[in-house]
Structure 1
Amino acid sequence: MATLELKNIVKRFKGQTVLDDLTLSVADGRTLVLFGPSGAGKTVLLRLIAGVIDPDEGRVLIGGEDMADVDAEYRGIGMAFQNFALFPHMTAFENIASPLQARKVSQGSIRAGVEKVARLLKIDHVLSHRPKALSNGQKQRTALARALVASPPLLLLDDPLRNVDAKLRFEMRLELPRLLADRGATVIYVTQDYKEAMALGDRIAVMNEGRLCQLGTPEQIYREPADMEIARLFGDPTINLLDVKPARDGRGVSVGLSGVQVYLPDAPREAVGRDCVIGLRPEALSFVEEGAAGAFPVTVEAETPLNEKTVTLVRTARGREILVSRPAGTPGPAEGEAFIAVDGASALLFDRISGERFGANRTIPFRRGEAA
């Protein structure tokens, strides 16, 4: 069993706090993605879990056992570092095999285990090469294979696809969840790529400046971001953010967009009359005919096909730019005057000063039927 609990973790370097009262838990066999910008403290947290460094305050528990007096080599952890950390004098085969060698596994089992994981990661053809003869992508996959080969109960993966080419990265996003699930390990996965975070995590922990900003499932983080910064980080094209002041009448709460009142069925009461920012995902906007409910006028500035979707840049009557996304091949204006409508139920309202979303929950509990 490899449940992981982090309780009130604090870590300082030279008086600077890099992890600030961080509390997290990961259930046995689940994957938690640590997501955030460079310098958020993600890698420091991994090294602390691994036992490479110690917390100044707080506790790390693995399988319910406090790791305070347990050295790194006895924690039952597999880790793939961002900087590869391969032994330069060893071949790729020997690097991958090293955890099995340390356990004194039979030579036949070592060869079978190494070859199996190498095939999965598409590096079986370079097993005889030393690190200096490998590309960065091959080095990264060799480090990942070494972390996986012994099937440790807890896996720490520090941005393992960063140096992999785009085609293989896409393939690995599809393959890694199955590969990790087959091993039944509890996984902590670090990335700065929101698509990777959405594809791989049972839950996502959004970090910034050593703090936990939000914790939830990928869908919850995307649909219920705690603040504007998190909303910006998740989504391509990025979310539209427009200044508004919600008002209430007999029909409900609405905001003015290009002189048209757009009603928001789920708008919180506390937002009424306050300076707000409305967040509109590009896919929540659609081109409609003039006179349609909630339709407001725009001018089409540019259109960009992006494989599975088409993104259109439009300008409102007040000169504000908005991105509209629709599935590729569906009709839409390429220039001139047009009208768009908002899916009001999916609109997000943020406080203009604090950036907080009205009604936000920083730690979103699992709902019935979701992975724990």
Structure 2
Amino acid sequence: MTTLQLKNIVKRFKTQTVLDNLSLDVGDSERLVLFGPSGAGKTVLLRLIAGVVDPDEGSVLIGGEDMADVDAEYRGVGMAFQNFALFPHMTAFQNIASPLEAKRSSSRAIKEGVDKVARLLKIDHVLLHHPKALSNGQKQRTALARALAGSPPLLLLDDPLRNVDAKLRFEMRLELPRLLAAQGATVVYVTQDYKEAMALGDRIAVMSQGRIRQIGTPEEIYNTPADMEIARLFGDPVVNLLDVTPLASSGGIHVELSNVKVTLPDFSEEVVGRSCVLGLRPETVAFTNAATPGAIPVTVAAETPLNEKTVALVLTARGREILLSRPAGTPGPTSGDAHIAVNGRSAFLFDKESGLLIRPRAKIMSRSGEAA
């Protein structure tokens, strides 16, 4: 069983703290994605797990064993580096085969292992080429193939699809989870692409400034972002964020858009009068008929078709911008006056000062387990 535990990790370079008291548990055969902007500390954390660099404070445990005195080559870790780190004097085949040769596998097992992973990553036609003859995308896939070929119990993948073209990147998002699941490895995967994080991770750890700001399943991160910044990072088009002050009436807690009440049924009176930010995912806002109860009058300012969806920009009566997203081919107004519908149950509410999510009150459950 291969688990990974990071306990109170601190890493400094001169006066800069790159990892700040970071703790993390990764379960056996789990795929954990480290997601965050450049400079968040993701790559440093991978190198620290691999044993390339040492922590200034804290401990790394692999399979329950403290790695403090264990050199990198004895940690049972496979890693695909962001900068490829291929052996320039070896062919792609030899690079991929190196972990199998280190395990003293037979010539037949080496050839079968290399051919299998090379076919999957679509580099079987360049196996006899040296790195200098490969494109960046081919180099990156060769480095990934080398990490996979040895079937290590712990895999560290540092943005391995960054230089891959869009079509292959999409295909790999589908194929990689199957391959990793078949290998049964525990995986820590770094990416700055939120779609990749959503597709590949059993859980996602969102990093910023050397700390983990939120960790959860892709659904939890998307549907319950811990703060406004995380809400912005996940979604295309980006989440709508509107300054609001919740009010109370006989109909419950509500905010107003174009002087129309939008009820927030899951929130209590503690948010009334508080400076907040309303978060609306573009796909949860829809055009509607003017006669629909709660219809909000807007002006359609622009519309952009984006292959599988159409994005519209509308303005409220106060000139506030709201993005709507609907499936391509779905009819909708392209300009002028229109009306939109907003489901208050799908809205986020953030504290304006701290940016933190205000969690709705828990639903009262009936004995059958359904919301009462």
Band of TM-score, shorter chain: over 0.9
Q: Name the counterpart of 1:69.
A: 69
Q: Distance in 2 between matches of 1:270 and 1:177?
A: 43
Q: Name the counterpart of 2:346.
A: 346
Tell me the CA shift for residue 320 of structure 1: 0.9
Q: Name the counterpart of 1:211.
A: 211
TM-score (norm 1): 0.95
Tell me the CA shift for residue 221 of structure 1: 0.3
Q: Distance in 1 between matches of 2:2 and 2:67?
A: 12
Distance 1:268 1:227, change over 3 A: farther
What pairs up with 1:192-271 in 2 under 5 angstroms?
192-271=192-271
For the aligned residues, what is the CA RMSD?
0.9
Q: Structure 2 counterpart of 1:3, which letter?
A: T
Distance 1:133 1:216, change over 3 A: same
Q: Name the counterpart of 1:141.
A: 141
- State the 4+ residue runs in structure 1 displaced beyond 3 angstroms: none
2:355 match: secondary structure: coil
Tell me the CA shift for residue 271 of structure 1: 1.9
Q: Structure 2 counterpart of 1:154, which letter?
A: L
Q: Does the 8 Å contact 2:77/2:156 carry over to 1? A: yes
Bigger mean CA deviation after superposition, 294-303 or 75-84: 294-303
Q: Name the counterpart of 1:11.
A: 11
Residue 356 of structure 1 pairs with residue 356 of structure 2: yes
Q: Does the 8 Å contact 2:349/2:359 carry over to 1? A: no
Tell me the CA shift for residue 268 of structure 1: 4.4
Tell me the CA shift for residue 343 of structure 1: 1.2
What pairs up with 1:255-334 in 2 under 5 angstroms?
255-334=255-334
Q: How many residues of Structure 1 are paired with residues of Structure 2 in the alignment?
A: 360
Q: Distance in 2 between matches of 1:302 and 1:84?
A: 43
Q: Structure 2 counterpart of 1:48, which letter?
A: L
Distance 1:268 1:356, change over 3 A: farther
Q: Structure 1 counterpart of 2:83, which letter?
A: N
Q: Name the counterpart of 1:109.
A: 109
Q: Does the 8 Å contact 1:268/1:358 carry over to 2? A: no
Q: Does the 8 Å contact 2:349/2:358 carry over to 1? A: yes
Q: Name the counterpart of 1:179.
A: 179
Q: Structure 2 counterpart of 1:274, which letter?
A: R
Q: Does the 8 Å contact 1:51/1:71 carry over to 2? A: yes
Q: Distance in 2 between matches of 1:339 and 1:14?
A: 56
Residue 130 of structure 1 pairs with residue 130 of structure 2: yes
Bigger mean CA deviation after superposition, 328-337 or 152-161: 328-337
What pairs up with 1:153-192 in 2 under 5 angstroms?
153-192=153-192
Which sections of structure 2, spanning at least 5 residues, go unmatched?
361-372
2:116 match: secondary structure: helix
Sequence identity (%)? 76
Tell me the CA shift for residue 106 of structure 1: 1.0
Which sections of structure 1, spanning at least 5 residues, go unmatched?
361-372
Q: Distance in 2 between matches of 1:241 and 1:205?
A: 23
Q: Distance in 1 between matches of 2:180 and 2:293?
A: 47
Tell me the CA shift for residue 54 of structure 1: 0.8
Q: Distance in 2 between matches of 1:130 and 1:345?
A: 56
Q: Does the 8 Å contact 2:91/2:131 carry over to 1? A: yes
Tell me the CA shift for residue 293 of structure 1: 2.1
TM-score (norm 2): 0.95
